[in-house]
Amino acid sequence: MSEFFPLRQSGNKNYCALCGFSASFAVSFYMKIRQFYIELTFHYGALINAYGKARQPDKAREVFDDMTAKGLKPNETIYGALVNAYGQAGQPEDAEKILRNLPEGLNLSSQTLGYLYNLVIKGYGRANRVEDVNRLKEEMLQKGLPIDVYTLGATGSVYDRMGTLNDETRSLRSREAEQWKELATLFGDVVHELNQPVGAIGLGVSTVKRYFEKGDRGNTLKFLEKLRLQVQFLGERMQVYKALTERSNAEETHRVSDMVSGVEELLRHYAEKAHVRIDIQITDDNKWKQALYLRGDKFLFQMAIRGLVYNAIQACSEESIPLERRHIIIRGIFTPSRPDEQSVAPYGWVDIYVRDEGPGIPPGIRERIFERGFSTKKGRGLGLGLTLAQSVAEHYGGRIVLMPEIATGVEFWLRLPAAPEP
């Protein structure tokens, strides 16, 4: 206890030499003050983060300066929020200045320092500053900081937007370059989906600690159960991503209904949040007695299907679309191949149709929809989903088609060579 404040003894009791109160009262008072400062720091961090999302870095800086003026010590999370505020506002140089002037007493782990570097890289990426992105990535390598999926996502975004590759990427074989782009397309989804439960866990831990220190067993157990459910959700999502990204043997045969269901599970969170219904209609029972199977790389097949379904969800999520039209239909049917198609599709075709009832695609840009890097999402996304889906279809001798204009929404047709039932 003397590590907190000096004690003096009178009789058989200890007293605080500073305030004169009993030691037990002083300790209790100290712990309450300490908890107050922890919660105050958390709220300052939330304000900085909010101003960052609003692209008001100067306001975020004012909050940060007010926090330090009150004697509160910012932690790595606070510095990360401030760095991100400047990066999102298109001021990556200011974000880098913060990175360069971190106080020595922070004692950051390599993983945390790498995270801060990635925020600055992301800021330069938003400004299309490829040289600065490469400079910081090389610096991370020299410092031995981990190059992970976050780095890949931040660098991959700007490379694809600018249509450039750095020397290291240019030297990669074509397959490795494709893997780089595949990681970039999944990066945004992973971060978006996991950010909310991770934030809830962080807040929940603080809440549990507060109730535990108060001796409130009921609320402690209540919030522990909420934490358990959030951790369980994270585990389930990670299993889905793991299953999606595991590369399968190119000679394996996969049931189409299973792959479509896997993609639907992966994107269910987005659909439910936007109140979008997904209706899966896979016709395994047809007059040809031909169940739907594909032979090849499961990851590539699911990536192609995912690109179409994710685009449909985003289309239906627009504010102008009423709830009754927030509907996606995924159909899978078997089509026999013609005599001149036997060499490519000896077992017939698997035709997958993804239709939404969103706003549709304006006639002026329909011919550009498969261009690499082209996006209708006003700055969101990498513009790679449909391009990669087209690449997968062509790789297996199939094709992807934007169907002629329909009354409402859009329909894509993905055709792949069918495989015999194993």
pLDDT digits (tens, 9 = 90+) for 309-340: 988 998 898 888 999 999 999 999 999 999 98
Is the same domain home to 121 and 170?
yes
CB 125 within 8 A of CB 135: no
Is the same domain home to 24 and 135?
yes
Provide the number of structural domains found in the chain. 2
Q: Strand, helix or coil at 84?
A: helix
Residue 96: inside a domain:
yes
List residues bridging with 416 in a β-sheet.
350
Rounded distance between C-alpha atoms, residue 278 and residue 42, angstroms: 39
Domain that holds residue 18: 7-233
Is the same domain home to 225 and 101?
yes
Strand 253-255 to 410-417 pairing: unpaired
**Residues belonging to the chain:** 422
pLDDT for residue 240: 55
Residue 319: inside a domain:
yes
Running DSSP on this structure, what letter comes out for residue 341? G
Angle, vertex CA 399, rays to CA 284 and CA 186, nearest 5: 85
Is this prediction's pTM over 0.75?
A: no
CA distances (Å), 102 to each of 7, 37, 116, 188, in order? 36, 21, 10, 27
Residue 2: inside a domain:
no
Q: How many CA atoms lie within 13 A of 375 on its CB side?
A: 17
Rounded distance between C-alpha atoms, residue 231 and residue 364, angstroms: 46
CB 354 within 8 A of CB 412: yes
Rounded distance between C-alpha atoms, residue 113 and residue 123, angstroms: 16
48 Cα distance to chain centroid: 21
Determine whether 247 is exposed, middle or buried from the number of CB atoms within 10 Å of its CB (0-12, 13-18, 19+). Answer: exposed
CB 99 within 8 A of CB 82: no
Rounded distance between C-alpha atoms, residue 310 and residue 252, angstroms: 25
243 Cα distance to chain centroid: 16
pLDDT for residue 418: 95
CA distances (Å), 26 to each of 5, 13, 17, 80, in order? 9, 13, 10, 35
Below-50 pLDDT ranges, the chain? 1-11, 15-21, 23, 25-26, 29-30, 164-182, 378-383
pLDDT for residue 273: 86
Residue 1: inside a domain:
no
Backbone angles phi and psi of 345, in degrees to 5: -130, 70
Backbone angles phi and psi of 79, in degrees to 5: -65, -40
Residue 89: inside a domain:
yes
> Last residue of some domain: 184, 205, 233?
233
Is the same domain home to 217 and 316?
no
Pick from 67, 35, 37: nearest CA to 49: 67
Is the same domain home to 55 and 167?
yes
Residue 242: inside a domain:
no
Is the same domain home to 96 and 224?
yes
41 Cα distance to chain centroid: 26
pLDDT for residue 333: 92
Which two structure tokens, joined as six digits, stand for 314? 């985003």
Q: Strand, helix or coil at 89?
A: coil
E strands present in 250-366: 253-255, 277-282, 293-295, 327-335, 349-356
Q: Strand, helix or coil at 329?
A: strand
pLDDT for residue 350: 94
Q: Strand, helix or coil at 358?
A: coil
Running DSSP on this structure, what letter comes out for residue 93? H
Is the same domain home to 203 and 131?
yes
Rounded distance between C-alpha atoms, residue 299 and residue 263, angstroms: 11
Is the same domain home to 394 and 267?
yes
Q: Strand, helix or coil at 220?
A: helix
CA distances (Å), 171 to each of 68, 125, 130, 165, 174, in order? 47, 21, 17, 9, 9
pLDDT for residue 242: 60
